[in-house]
Amino acid sequence: MPNLATREAYGKALVELGKENRNVVVLDADLSKSTKTADFAKVFPERFFNIGIAEADLMGTAAGLATCGKIPFASTFAVFATGRAFEQIRNSICYPNLNVKIAATHAGITVGEDGASHQSIEDISLMRTIPNMTVIVPCDDVETMAAIKAAAEYVGPVYIRLGRSSVPTINDEYTYKFEIGKAVKLREGKDVTIFATGIMVSEALKAYEMLKEKGFEAEVINIHTIKPIDAKAIVESVAKTGCAVTCEEHNIIGGLGSAVCEVLAENKPAPVVRVGVKDTFGQSGKPAELMKHYGLTAENIVEAALKAMSKK
């Protein structure tokens, strides 16, 4: 399987979009080499705006461009985009329902060595609570390309969460169909449903194989859109399996786990075990070491699945 970071795919997608649509403009806050918006800046310098290290202004400028028919993609690291500029996103983008796409990279603990100050584990929670906002977390390069294109076609604010580190390609470049708000069933099973988002999707697939060896059939569903969440897919699957595990590279508070619990509590109460960062800050280290340290591996998912099944 090829390995590519979702931010790399974002850079490529932007260049393609730029060729197709002259209204696509890109803004960054002095991180264009890391967020990969530099790829776009190289090809379309007149449509790229470096706003400097000023995330609040980044969001406001994007909002202004959107009022005039532009499709701005605003990028910086997830922690700064959603933390520093939260209220600008709320009041200058989402309240007026402006067509701004916030593509934030370096989300989660796999930022690695930079440590906790740069590891966003709250962004899904922050973004999904704002009315009018759509929240997408792609799992690989193929899904990222598709999600960026879908976001550009969709009219309204979208938050796209991207990662720094390489992840395995799960989806087929030629056959994969992405639809905002539509979950993707990757494996069929009857014993437990594993809902995963972002880079945890590939871990969930590994967990599926490990559970199979133990005699369990897990269903694996990729929830790439956290909002609007595919409640139907969640309820239908858990109606069959009777329990669920959620997997995200994010705090277990407020993200995918919470979103799935909200849907199930109101429609199909069932045991849920959440795999994620357990309400603690990250630290410096290699991405793989951190995933292990914070309990975000396939082994942790297997453990959670066994626990969920035991509660049925």
Partner 1 sequence: MRDIQKLKEIAVTLRKDIIKMLTESASGHPGGSLSAVEILTALYFSEMRVDPNNPRWEDRDRFVLCKGHAAPVLYAALAEKGFFDKSHLMTLRKLGSILQGHPNMNDTPGVDMSTGSLGQGLSVANGMALAAKLDNKDYRVYALLGDGEIEEGQVWEAAMTAAHYKLDNLTAFLDHNGLQIDGQVTEVMNVEPVDEKFKAFGWHVIVIDGHNFEEIFKAIDEAKSVKGKPTMIIANTVKGKGVSFMENAVGWHGTAPSKEQCEEALAELGGENNA
171 binds partner 1 (CB under 8 A): no
Please say which residue, 92 or 165, places its beta carbon nearer to partner 1: 92
Whichever of 48 and 159 has its CB closer to partner 1, that residue is 48
70 contributes a contact to partner 1 by CB under 8 A: yes
Q: How far is the CB of 263 from partner 1 (least distance, A)?
A: 29
Q: List the catalytic residue out of 8, 55, 122, 219.
A: 55
Minimum CB distance to partner 1, residue 58 (Å)? 8
Is 68 one of the binding residues for partner 1 (CB under 8 A)?
yes
Residue type, 4: L
Q: Residues 17, 31, 63, 201: which binds partner 1 (CB under 8 A)?
A: 63
- Is 20 a residue of the active site? no
Nearer to partner 1, 1 or 68 (CB): 68
Q: What would the x/- binding string for partner 1 be over residues 21 to 60, using CB under 8 A?
A: ----x--------------------xx-x-xx-x-xx-xx
Provide the mask over 80-99, with x wherever binding to partner 1 is found by CB under 8 A and - wherever it is not.
-------xx--xx--xxx--
Query: Which of 31, 41, 62, 220 forms a contact with partner 1 (CB under 8 A)?
Result: 62
Could you list the active site residues? 55
Q: Which residues bind partner 1 (CB under 8 A)?
A: 25, 46-47, 49, 51-52, 54, 56-57, 59-70, 72, 87-88, 91-92, 95-97
